[in-house]
Structures are given as structure tokens and as C-alpha cells.
Amino acid sequence: MSDPQKGYNLHHEGLVTKFDKKGNLLTFKDEVWEHLVDCGLDTIAYVQDPVEEGKMTNVVLDHIHFTLDSIKVQMKAQEAKYDSYDLANDKTAKEFVLASLTTDFRQAIRDVMHKEDTFPVLWIWIIEKIQSTSVENFDDIKEAIKRLKPSGYAGENLETMMRDYRELARELTTAGQYDHNLTLRIVKSTLVAGGTGVHGQSFKHKLHELLEKLNAALLKIGHMGPSIATKYMADLDLSYEAVSETIATRYVWYRNNNEWDPAKNAHDLKAPPTAYLTKAEAMALIRNNGKDPKNSGRASKKGTCFNCGQPGHMK
């Protein structure tokens, strides 16, 4: 096969693992962007931001800034400036992305898009399709964030809790589904952390300051569009990334200075209670006719059930 033919196939055949609308969008967009960069097609993914004049925004990585209506408006003016090189790159990028979708998903996109749609418009069509069929999944993620509590982590480890929170929040943000009230929910949930001692009260006092700042900002963004609201929160260091980092950093400081009381009595919440046998040990015990494998083979309540204490069976 000639080098030009290899290059053509590389640009057009799509990803090996085809993407379905219920797939992992984070992974898909990272793989698409990596391909565009490797093949020199990345420039056609930049579009004039609908809010910030003079700013070019990456539609693949920051699609949250656009809706179908706004991307069509922006591209109408931008496409008029395309030369033959830009048009060729746009066409190739479209073919690559469509070839990276599963057959059913690709057909669903072809049914709604227009032949003349540019790559950025096609990309937002894909995002819109994913969002319209994933509302239930997004609701589940939001509920998962709401259920995050310090008590669910050994020693009330807020560093780990904030890492879990960021992972969930990023998935919502990528799909344009993040609600900034979830940030408030997380801050409120951490107000119970740190214990009731002097150090715990000190930690809570600092969180109350953050809580007041968040409440004021949430009132301000009530009537803003999603992209403007997200920028507003980021400018005030109240994005989910900034808030989770603030909480984690403060927790680490208290813990490293031996001022995090819950860590002094920490236990592994995922470990089996010491008073119980593991499933493997219980099965071994039954196979050995009641001889405890953890007790040098000596019988333990020989011939009786370990649940009710009665003879004739064993549980």
C-alpha cells in the first residue's frame, strides 16, 4: 500500500472501537482530539466563542460553550473565510468522526444533520444526541454526588472524597449538565467533618466562609446562561475544581499537623468486621467439619451451627 493511501485510511477509517451514544464521552472526545492533532486537523475545531469576543474555543474539548443554534451562527461567518485547505480538513474530520460511531448512532446523526454542516456543527449534533438520551444517567450522577459524605470514608478522608467528587463532576461538565448547586451541596456535606473538637470547629469556620461566598455567587448566576455562569464561577475560584481543591488542601493541612481528630480513630470501612469470618474462611470451616482454620484446626462449637448454635446443620 502506498504512503498516500495509508495516510488516507488513517484520516478516514475512524477509531477502532466505535462510539455509541451511551459510551464514555470523556474517552471518546480525548481520542478524537488526539487524532485531529496527530493528523494536523485540529485547527478546524476552533470556533469563535459565542460569549467572549475575540476568543477561539475548542469545540471538541469545550463544547459546553455551544448550542446547536450558537454553533450554526458562529460557523456561518467562519466558513465564509475557509480556503480550499480548510474545507478539505473539515471534510476529512467529519468523515473520521462519523466513521468512529457505531452503525446505528452514525445513522441517527445522518438523519438530523445536513450535508453542508461543518465539523464543529456535526460535533454539537453528536453532543446533543448524547444529552437527549442520557438524562437518566446524568440524574444518577447528580444523585451520586449528593450521596457523597465524609462518613463514607475512613478517617473522614476528604482528599479521597474530593477526588471522587471531581470525577463525577467532570463527567457532568463534559456533557454540559453540571449544576453549580451541587458545589454548594458538597460544601454543606463537609461541614459535618472534622469532629466536634477545637480543630474541627476551626475547619468548619473556614468552610462557612466558603459557603457564604458560594451562596452569593449562586444568586448572581441565577439568570445567566450556562457558559457565562461557568466562567463567572471560575473567575471567583468557585468552580467545582477550585472548591474541591480548597477543601482537600485544608483537610491535608489539618491531617498532617495531627489536628484531624477522625483520622486518629480511623478504620477501613471496606474491610470485614474482625468479629466475622470472611466467606472463604467460613467455607473452609464447613469443609473441615467445624474445625477453625484460624485456630490451629481445633474444633469450634463442633457439630453446631455458627448462626443459631443448634446441632444438625451449619451456616
- Quote the number of domains for the chain: 3
19 and 66 in one domain?
Answer: yes
Kindly report the length of the chain.
315
Q: What's the predicted TM-score (pTM) here?
A: 0.52
Percent of the chain having pLDDT more than 70?
Answer: 78
Which of 102, 132, 162 marks a domain boundary? 132
Q: Residue 311 pLDDT more than 90? A: no
The kind and range of the H/E element at 57 are strand 56-58
Output the pLDDT for position 71: 93
248 and 183 in one domain?
Answer: yes
Residue 134 binned pLDDT confidence (cut-offs 50, 70, 90): low
Residue 263 binned pLDDT confidence (cut-offs 50, 70, 90): confident
139 and 122 in one domain?
Answer: no
249 and 280 in one domain?
Answer: no
Residue 184 CA to residue 181 CA, distance in Å, equals 5
Q: Can you count the helices (H) and strands (E) in the chain?
A: 14, 2
124 and 88 in one domain?
Answer: yes
Query: 35-93 pLDDT, tens per residue?
Result: 999 999 999 999 998 878 888 999 998 888 888 898 999 999 899 999 999 999 999 99
Closest listed residue to residue 204, CA positions, set 156, 133, 265: 156
Which of 70, 99, 132 marks a domain boundary? 132
AA letter at 228: I
**Which residues lie closer than 8 Å to 238 by C-beta, 6 or more apart?**
180, 183, 213, 214, 217
Backbone Cα Rg of the chain:
27
Residue 276 CA to residue 306 CA, distance in Å, equals 11
206 and 87 in one domain?
Answer: no
Its domain, for residue 306, covers 272-315
**What's the whole-number mean pLDDT along residues 218-228?**
86
309 and 249 in one domain?
Answer: no
